[in-house]
Amino acid sequence: MEKDKQIFDIIAREDARQHMGMELIASENFVSHQVLEAMGSCLTNKYAEGYPGKRYYGGCQVVDEAETIAIERVKKLFGAAWANVQPHSGAQANMAVFMACLKPGDKFMGLNLSQGGHLSHGSPVNFSGLVFDAVEYNVDPETGLVDYDKMEETALRERPRLIIGGASAYSREWDYARMRAIADRVGAIFMVDMAHPAGLIAAGLLDNPLKYAHIVTSTTHKTLRGPRGGIILMGEDFDNPWGKTTPKGQLKTMSALLDSAVFPGTQGGPLENVIAAKAVAFGEALQPSFKTYQQQVLVNARALAKALKDKGYKIVSGGTDNHCVLLDLRENFPELTGKQAERALVEADITANKNMVPYDTRSPFQTSGIRLGTPAITTRGADVIMMTVVADFIDEVLRNVDNHEAIASVREQVNAMMAPMPIFAD
């Protein structure tokens, strides 16, 4: 059969865009060649509904081995006692937790979406907000930090059955111990969605939520640098019966509830090619070089935040503890929306995304902020000196959003800088 030129031309163009551009989207990264190879392998052909050793299809003996290795490696990586590596995405992992822990209409609590929370933590257009009763907690308007005292007040008043920690745009460390204490006070299950900082946590550079939360979910493709997908984990002592009974009246453990919430609850056949790629990525994350990489991600994020601050930019919460830097444009550029800023940056081949800032008065389609992140550019070898240049580029573009010549000049410099930087270190 002839190669599909139309699609492979598009892939070649996207390859060039990724190579020549400066990737600052906080939730993106570049996987290794062996992760790509595993994803593009013949494992995509195999149906394997069920779990290793308990499948609904024959011929699963080989993929069973890959899925078992993925489970064992991710448990080792995060110090988990139990893992499910089948969720197709982070949102699917969260959906499975809702399904295992709540009944439709039950109340749960997550970070306000306009302050960094994720869609699957209670958006009215997402299953979480459509099927369940979402209550929010907030960040302090002055400090930009999660207000745990108010969170506790809200929890005591609302009595949610589930409390979610973790976010899509929050650059500070979480007080998981405090959240667990709040959850215990109201008898709620405490779940952490560590999708963003998972790689930093795996490297031991941020606190590990497995020590505090009943259940932890994550994506595998952000700081963790694996294929697109999700995982669900549990720590040592949380797999006790939770009072849910099967039709035959037996008490079910949380791990059994979660397994059946993933399959058959919310998914069909697992993507065994992606699961094998997850195993490869977990194996990479267990190497000492992964810690060195994550240390550089952190150092670069701090350097970027500082360089922008030195130029007079307002950073939400004043800085960062992780890979993410949230720029509040309102002070320096009151007329400029995040949408316009994103467009101008993309014109300069700098990819970042518009983002709401706490207590934003603009809509999620306009926004007053820009979210930046260092995982992808660090994979390509960026160091702190480069971060000051990146801040110069961003500043030049934001001051000249309608000046196409100035933007073209930045684009040339960006392309010249990125061209020699490899996407695959291997």
Footprint on this chain of ligand PLP (rule: CB under 6 A) = 27, 89-91, 118, 120, 166-168, 193, 195-196, 219, 230
Note the Cα 154 to chain centre separation in Å.
26
Q: How far is the CB of 395 from ligand PLP (least distance, A)?
A: 27
**Cβ distance to ligand PLP smaller for residue 90 or 369:** 90
**Cβ distance to ligand PLP smaller for residue 88 or 309:** 88
Q: How far apart are CA 215 and CA 394, in angstroms?
A: 38
The two three-digit tokens of residue 199, written as one number: 């790689």
Q: Is 313 a catalytic residue?
A: no
SS3 136: strand
Q: How far is the CB of 232 from ligand PLP (least distance, A)?
A: 12
Name the residue number minimizing CB distance to ligand PLP. 90
* Residue 282: C-alpha distances to residues 32, 196, 294, 384 (Å): 12, 16, 14, 27
Q: Is 219 a catalytic residue?
A: yes
Residue 264 preceded by cis peptide, ω within 30: yes
**Cβ distance to ligand PLP smaller for residue 196 or 362:** 196
DSSP 154-218: HHHHH--SEEEE--SS--S---HHHHHHHHHHHT-EEEEE-TTTHHHHHTTSS--GGGT-SEEEE
Q: How far is the CB of 131 from ligand PLP (least distance, A)?
A: 17
Q: How far is the CB of 221 from ligand PLP (least distance, A)?
A: 7
Specify whether the CB–CB gap between 355 and 26 falls below 8 A. Answer: no
Active-site position among 76, 228, 252, 330: 228
Q: How far is the CB of 205 from ligand PLP (least distance, A)?
A: 18
Q: Is 228 a catalytic residue?
A: yes
Q: Residue 100: CB partners within 8 Å, gap ≥ 6?
A: 254, 257, 258, 260, 261, 265
Burial 190-203 (b: 16+ CB within 10 A, else e): bbbbbbbbbbbbbb
Active-site position among 23, 28, 67, 193: 193
Q: How far is the CB of 147 from ligand PLP (least distance, A)?
A: 19
- Dihedrals phi, psi of 81, to nearest 5 degrees: -95, -20
Helix (H) or strand (E) holding 324: strand 324-328
Active-site position among 222, 354, 380, 411: 222
**Cβ distance to ligand PLP smaller for residue 120 or 379:** 120
Active-site position among 49, 106, 147, 396: 49
**Cβ distance to ligand PLP smaller for residue 180 or 222:** 222
Q: Is 223 a catalytic residue?
A: no
SS3 145: coil
User: What one-letter code names the amino acid at 311?
Assistant: K
**Cβ distance to ligand PLP smaller for residue 32 or 120:** 120
The catalytic residue positions are: 47, 49, 193, 219, 222, 228
